[in-house]
Amino acid sequence: MDAFEGMQISDDWQLLFDVRDRQPCRKCSKSRKYFCYTCFTLHADLENKIPRLELPFKVDIVKHSREIAGKSTAIHAALLAPAHVTIYIYPDLPRYSPDDKVILIYPGKSSITLQDFYNSKKKQEDNFMKSSSQFVTHALFIDSTWNQSKGILKNPMFKELPCIKLQIRLSQFWRHQKGTPRWFLSTIESIHQLLVEFTEADKTNKSPVNYDNMLFFFRFMYEQIHQLYEHDQLLAYRRPVNI
């Protein structure tokens, strides 16, 4: 079964298999293979070989300081959509203005779907559809383990934000996080899923944009892992669908 069946991901991800050697990062000079996961920079020879995405809103990612940078998929978003993605290392947090329309992507007890959030906005604002087609300006994600996220959420800033839960889909991430079901997505999968749901919810967008290339690096790394390991042997794929 093709885990990415029906998605329109650029075939250029296969070019990454041709990268053999590590190179020094152009900023910090540390040895990296494809990109620097601390400086969020690509190697020069890959600069014009990966897709660049324009997103309909800003994506802010708050990363736990103990989350291992080299294993985080949040970096993929910063490389693929550098003009729209910012990564913060907690306790550093983004600052928003009163005019910003910020949503927190997190499966909390009070969370609602993006479609329900969109519908509620239409009911609250009589001129919603006429005045603006943009009901989200910033989407905030937490990049951490499940237990680490609970500590970050204690910050008062998060309590003021509407909490959005994503539609359930099985994660294809190869890392095993004990105690979580298969539908707990990696950060880059969550960003992609939100973009898919945004195009479905925002009916004023007459020409929906394909955001599947947000999984460009993820697709490559998935294939790379599965050249080394059988799918069913990885603990990440043997987790329950529910828990």
Q: Which residue has the higher pLDDT, 203 or 90?
A: 90
- Residue 56 has a pLDDT of 93
pLDDT tier, 238 (very low <50, low <70, confident <90, very high otherwise): confident
- Residue 127 has a pLDDT of 57
- Residue 70 has a pLDDT of 81
Nearest to 23 by CA among 50, 9, 41: 41
| pLDDT tens digits for range 149-172 | 989 999 999 998 999 999 999 999
Query: If you write DSSP's letter for every residue of the chain in order, what string do you get?
Result: --TTTT----GGGGGGGG--S-EE-TTT--EESSEETTTTEE-GGGTTTS-----SSEEEEEE-TTS-GGG-THHHHHHHSTTTEEEEETT------TT--EEEE---TT-EEHHHHHHHHHHH-TTHHHH-S-S-SEEEEEES-HHHHHHHTTSHHHHTSPEEEPPP---------TT--TT---HHHHHHHHHHHHHHH-TT-SSPPP-GGGGHHHHHHHHHHHHHS-GGGSGGGSS-S--
- Please say whether the dihedral angle defined by the alpha carbons of residues 44, 41, 216 and 78, taken in this order, is positive or negative: negative
Query: Could you tell me if 185 and 173 are in contact, meaning their C-beta atoms sit under 8 angstroms apart?
Result: yes
- Please say whether the dihedral angle defined by the alpha carbons of residues 229, 15, 42 and 194, taken in this order, is positive or negative: negative
The continuous run of DSSP H or E covering 197 comes out as helix 187-201
Provide the token pair at 215: 């999984």
DSSP state of 243: -
Quick one: average pLDDT of 89-108?
A: 95
Whole-Å CA distances, 3 to 37, 72, 172, 218: 25, 20, 7, 11
* Percentage, residues of the chain above pLDDT 90: 65
* Distance, C-alpha 45 to centroid of its chain: 25
Residue 133 has pLDDT above 60, yes or no: no
* Percentage, residues of the chain above pLDDT 70: 93
| pLDDT tens digits for range 10-34 | 999 999 999 999 999 999 999 999 9
Residue 131 has pLDDT above 50, yes or no: no
Domain boundaries of the chain, sorted by first residue: 22-51, 54-237
Provide the token pair at 67: 């989350």
| pLDDT tens digits for range 181-229 | 888 899 999 999 999 999 988 766 566 789 999 999 999 999 999 999 8
Strand 23-24 and strand 31-32: pairing? Answer: antiparallel
| pLDDT tens digits for range 29-61 | 999 999 999 999 999 889 889 999 999 999 999
